[in-house]
Structure 1
Amino acid sequence: MAIIAIEYTYDVAQSELIAEHRPTHRAHLRDLHEAGAVLTFGPLGDDSALILVEADSPEAGLNVLAGDPFRELGVIKNANARVWNPAVNPWA
């Protein structure tokens, strides 16, 4: 398994919808964290977020997040996934 860094870029034109559903989105990610699929997550400024997942590939990492309410609502403008090789790895 690899660490996959997924950067969400939000559609800021839908900021009210994002704010309304943020608690459900975060609860979903916390559930994935408790299950061991998501390592950590958090905002990157006002219009994006970083989510670290364990998966075999970037595509598999995106599949881990398939049920994310934000993805289902269509408020994510872009989801960029790539393998991340940290120099110091607290998850190893």
Structure 2
Amino acid sequence: MSVTVAVVYTYGDNADLLNETRPAHREYLRGLADSGHLLVAGAWVPGEPAGGLLIFRAADKDAVHGLVADDPYVLAGVVTKSQVHEWAPPLGPLAGAFTEQAD
């Protein structure tokens, strides 16, 4: 059984650190996507507060806390706050894909 977990990142204001760390961050997320843990991720668009949204599939919420802790953005201090929430959307054309329980 697995759960879907939404993670909201808030970035600090150090643009140089963000840009320097971005390649390692993206490589890390690419590996999580390839392994099936990361379903989708992206930064907020310009004009929004600096940060992003990541949607994970994992055994439980604690597993996602571990994945977030190893993100190069988190390790380098780019992420100043992360919110981790189990998520089960009931509506919309993709809702079933996110709430489907996998073994």
* TM-score (norm. length: structure 2): 0.78
Alignment pair present for 1:6 and 2:13 = no
Match runs of 1:1-92 below 5 Å: 1-12=2-13, 14-46=14-46, 47-87=50-90, 88-91=95-98, 92=100
Percent identity over the alignment is: 29
Whether contact under 8 Å (1:7, 1:48) holds in the other structure is yes
Over aligned residue pairs, what C-alpha RMSD do you find?
A: 1.6
Paired residue total: 91
In structure 1, runs of 5+ residues without a counterpart are none
Q: Which deviates the most, 52-61 or 64-73? A: 52-61
Shift of 1:37: 1.1
Shift of 1:59: 3.1
- Which of 1 and 2 has greater Rg? 2
Mapped to 2, the partners of 1:78 and 1:58 lie a distance apart of 17
Deviation per residue, 1:39-76 (Å, 9 max, x gap): 11111235011011112443321212222111110111
The structure that is strand-richer by fraction is 1
Which segments of structure 1 move beyond 6 Å, counting only runs of 4 or more?
Answer: none
